[in-house]
Amino acid sequence: MSIKKLLVLPGDGIGPEVMREVARVAAWLSRRRDITFDISEDLVGGASLAEYGVPIREEVIQKAREADAVLFGSVGDPKWAHVGFDKRPEVAILKLRQELGLFANLRPAKVFDALADASTLKPEIVRGLDIMIVRETVGGIYFGEPRGIETLRDGERRGINTEVYTTREIERVARVAFDLARKRQNSVCSVEKCNVMESGLLWKEVVTDLHAREYADVTLSHMLADNCAMQLVRNPRQFDVIVTGNLFGDILSDLASMLTGSLGMLPSATLGAVHSDGRRPALYEPIHGSAPDIAGRGIANPIAQILSFGMLLRYSFGMQTEADMIESAVSAVLATGLRTADIMSEGMARVGTDVMGEAIVRELDKLQV
Ligand code: NAD
Ligand code: IPM
Ligand code: K
Ligand code: MN
C-alpha cells in the first residue's frame, strides 16, 4: 500500500465548498481501494490574509514543495479589492506557480455525452469534443518587467505590463504539448499574435524549430489568438492540443469551458520540470475562481474540483484506474439527470453541491467490483 502526501489548499468563496466534496471522494478511495492519503490542509488567499496578514505563508510554500501533490481550490474575495497588488488573495496561486516552477497548465475541455445539450452552443457542434489547452503559467505578461503604475510629470498616470518570453520558456511548454499530442490525436495548434507582438513572433519560431528538430511526426499548425477564439466557437472539434502563452491561455480556456456546459466542469493540472530524483512538482485546481456571486449558498458545481483530484491521481500518483473511475462516476451521475444550477436544463433534477458529491460517491460504489 502506498502513502501519498497531499497538501490541500481550499482557499476562498466556493473553494472550501467544492473541496468538501473531494474529501468525500478521497475518503471513499481510502476505504475501498488500497490507498492512504496523508492529507495536510492550510489557508491561502483571503482566508490566509484574514488569519496571517499575507495571501500565502512561506511555510505553506515549503509544504507544497515537500508534498507529492497539491490540490488547490480557488482564491479571491472582493473584500480585499482595496489592498496593494502584492497582497491580493490571487498572489497565493501566482506565487505557488512561480516558486514551484509550475510552467505547464493542462486544461482539458471534454464534453460529457449527457451534457452535450447543456452548452450554449448547438449540441452537434460540441458533442464528442475533447481538446487540451496547454497554457504557459510562469511567464508572459503576468510576470514581465517593467511593470507597475507610474505618475508622469504632468500628473497623468500610466499602468505598465510587459509581455516577455525566452526561447527556453517557449520550448519547454511546447515540448509538453507535443508529448501530450502523441498520446492523443497527434496534432498541436500553437497560438500567439505574431502579427503584432515580437514575443509572439519568437514563440512561433521556437515552436516551429522544435517541431522540425524533434516532433516532425506531430501535425503542427499556427493560429492568431483572436482567430482561435472565433474558431473555438465556430468549430471547436478541429482542435486537439492548443499551446499558448499565459494570458491567451487564461482567456481561451474560460471560453472553452462553456463548450463543455459550464466553467464549473473544467479541471486542470499544472506541472513543473521533472527533478533529478524523478519527482515532478504538480498542482491541481479547477480553472474557475472563488465565485463570490454564489459563495455560501451550497449551489456551486463540485465537478471541476473533483475532476482536478482525478487528474492528480492520474498524473502525480499513477492511479489510472482510480482516475478513470472518478470520470466514469461523474459521467454516470450526469446520465441520471442530476444537475447543479450552472448545468441545469429542462427536465433535469436540480441539486446542490453536497447532493452532487454524494451521488458521485454512490456511483463509485456501483463501479467497485
Ligand atoms: P469565477 O470563475 O470565480 O466565476 C465566474 C462565473 O462562473 C461566476 O458567475 C460564477 O458563479 C460561475 N462559476 C464559477 N465556478 C463555478 C462552479 N463551480 N459552479 C457554478 N458556477 C461557477 O470568476 P470571477 O467571478 O471573475 O472571479 C472571482 C474571483 O476568483 C476573483 O477574485 C478572481 O481573481 C478569482 N479567480 C481565482 C482563480 C484561482 O484561484 N485559480 C481562478 C479564476 C478566478
Ligand atoms: C486562473 C485565474 C488566475 C490566472 C488568477 C486568479 C491569478 O484566472 O487560474 O485561471 O489569471 O491565472
Ligand atoms: K481555481
Ligand atoms: Mn482564469
Q: 281: domain CATH number? A: 3.40.718.10
Q: How many domains does the chain have?
A: 2
- Residue 291 CA: nearest ligand 1 atom is 3
Pocket test for ligand 1, best of 283, 288, 356 (most atoms within 8 A of CB): 288
What pLDDT digit, counting tens, does each position of 211-230 carry? 999 999 999 999 999 999 99
**Residue-level pLDDT at 86:** 87
Pocket test for ligand 2, best of 85, 93, 98, 137 (most atoms within 8 A of CB): 93
Are both 55 and 183 inside the same structural domain? no
Is 193 annotated as catalytic? yes
Are both 355 and 238 inside the same structural domain? no
Is 254 annotated as catalytic? yes
Are both 96 and 151 inside the same structural domain? no
Q: How far is the CA of 51 from the centre of ligand 3 (A)?
A: 21
Q: How far is CA 20 from CA 16, 77, 256, 365, in A?
A: 6, 19, 26, 18
Question: Within its chain, how far is the Cα of 186 from the centroid?
Answer: 22
Q: How far is the CA of 366 from the centre of ligand 4 (A)?
A: 35
- Atom 8 (ligand 1): residue with closest C-alpha? 291
Q: Is 141 in the pocket of ligand 2 (CB under 6 A)?
A: no
Range of the structural domain that residue 358 is part of: 1-103+272-369
Grid coordinates standing for 35?
490507498
Are both 290 and 354 inside the same structural domain? yes
DSSP string, 284-335: E--SS---TTTTTSS----HHHHHHHHHHHHHTS--HHHHHHHHHHHHHHHH
Q: Is 250 in the pocket of ligand 2 (CB under 6 A)?
A: yes
Task: State phi, psi for 296 to the nearest 5 degrees.
Answer: 85, 0
**Residue-level pLDDT at 159:** 97
Spans of the chain below 50 pLDDT: none
Catalytic, out of 113, 217, 226, 365: 226
Are both 117 and 37 inside the same structural domain? no
Task: Report the distance separating Cα 240 and Cα 138, nearest Å.
Answer: 23
Is 250 annotated as catalytic? yes
The answer to whether 324 is a known ligand-binding residue is no
What percent of the chain lies above the pLDDT cut of 70?
Answer: 99
The dihedral of CA 96, 102, 105, 106: what is its sign? negative
Are both 255 and 278 inside the same structural domain? no
Is 142 annotated as catalytic? yes
46 near 80, Cβ under 8 Å? yes
Residue 340 located in a structural domain = yes
Strand partners, 5: 38
Are both 205 and 143 inside the same structural domain? yes
102 near 294, Cβ under 8 Å? no
**Residue-level pLDDT at 2:** 73
Q: Is 269 in the pocket of ligand 2 (CB under 6 A)?
A: no
Grid coordinates standing for 66?
515537500
Is 34 annotated as catalytic? no
Would the pTM count as exceeding 0.95? Answer: yes
Are both 231 and 94 inside the same structural domain? no
Task: Report the distance separating Cα 357 and Cα 157, nearest Å.
Answer: 49
What pLDDT digit, counting tens, does each position of 15-44 carry? 999 999 999 999 999 999 888 899 999 999
Residue 265 located in a structural domain = no
CB atoms within 10 A of CB 367: 13
Q: How far is CA 123 from CA 97, 120, 128, 259, 367, in A?
A: 36, 9, 9, 9, 28
- Atom 34 (ligand 1): residue with closest C-alpha? 76
Task: State phi, psi for 299 to the nearest 5 degrees.
Answer: -115, 0
